[in-house]
Amino acid sequence: MIELLGDNDPWVASTSGERLLFMLLRNHQEWRVLADSLKDAKLRLGRRYDNLSSFFVGASVLHLQQRLLRLAHDVRDRVPNRWEQAIELRTRACDIIQLTPIEYSGDYGALMEEVLTSAEQMPKEPGPGLKRLVIQNGPKTCYSCGRQFGAIYEDAPDGLKATADHIWPRALGGDTVDENLLPACPPCNSSKGHIAAWQMAWIQPVVFADVDEANGLKSLQREVKMALHIRAAMTYAHQNGSTLRNGLLAIGPREPPVRIDPDQGYDFFNLRVHDHARTNVNWIPN
């Protein structure tokens, strides 16, 4: 099964950016054409058909979303009136990106409005009051790496500080609201950057040649481990009908990476950083 493309939304949206993604997935038919083309070709892709097809589809639609938001950001800077912004964005989306009402089966005007709403989130940062609320009410450890706030670490000699991290990043329309924020340590917050879904991570360097598992996996980049963690949360949220935030809380902080199938290599799709038995999030690397 190709992730993101199903009869239902991939998870429960809590931000404008997620709603925009779902609108593109539901109504821009090119993703299903891409998926059907891959399926009809009867490719095995080295036992990675589902995984690589999910990557192609996810990376493509998220790339389109980024381009639309870039256009909307420029339009908002140039045009003060919201109605005129929608008209200008519609023109530029058709001319520059060539996303026209012909390719989009839904309400094209509603799509443009959601793009503009998502673009409004890009400059917003949580104020001191919201940050305090998120840190006080959230876990006392980083939601990603699990390290305890206030504890002394090599990279935090004065005690690990807590920041408020956007689960769905502002760069892709993530709202600055409690439902989209979790406490994170500064290194994890910085490393995650604008990664919204695992398809945005740089997954190719994970392929190791004749690696020693005990030492090789320890050197796995933080961004890759975070992408695996996000992928587990996305799967959990889809299976249980929850938000990504609640999916991350249910999965818990990431664990040391391990291989899933010992007979296969150390590529991205044969690794996990979550307790599959506890969370019932099981992947088969094929």
Is pLDDT at 210 greater than 60 in this prediction?
A: no
Q: Which phi and psi angles does 181 have, rounded to 5°?
A: -130, 145
Express as a percent the part of the chain with pLDDT over 90.
65
Q: Are 199 and 230 in contact (CB under 8 A)?
A: no
Mean pLDDT in residue range 89-102? 93
Dist CA 207 CA 209 (whole Å): 7
Q: What is the pLDDT of residue 8?
A: 84
- In terms of pTM, does the model score above 0.85? yes
Q: What is the pLDDT of residue 277?
A: 92
Mean pLDDT in residue range 89-97? 94
Residue of 32, 39, 35 lying closest to 103 (CA atoms):
32
Q: What is the pLDDT of residue 36?
A: 80
Helix 30-40 vs helix 49-78: crossing angle, to nearest 10:
160
Q: Are 161 and 185 in contact (CB under 8 A)?
A: yes
Round the average pLDDT of the chain to a whole number and report it: 89
Q: Are 257 and 220 in contact (CB under 8 A)?
A: yes
**Lookup result for tokens 């889809």:** 238
Q: Which two tokens stand for residue 169?
A: 């990043």
Q: Are 20 and 64 in contact (CB under 8 A)?
A: no
Give residue-wise pLDDT tens across range 232-276.
999 999 999 999 999 999 999 999 999 899 888 888 999 999 999
**Lookup result for tokens 């990106």:** 97
Is pLDDT at 145 greater than 90 in this prediction?
A: yes
Listed range (15-19, 52-56, 109-113, 216-220) with the worst mean pLDDT? 216-220
Mean pLDDT in residue range 2-22? 89
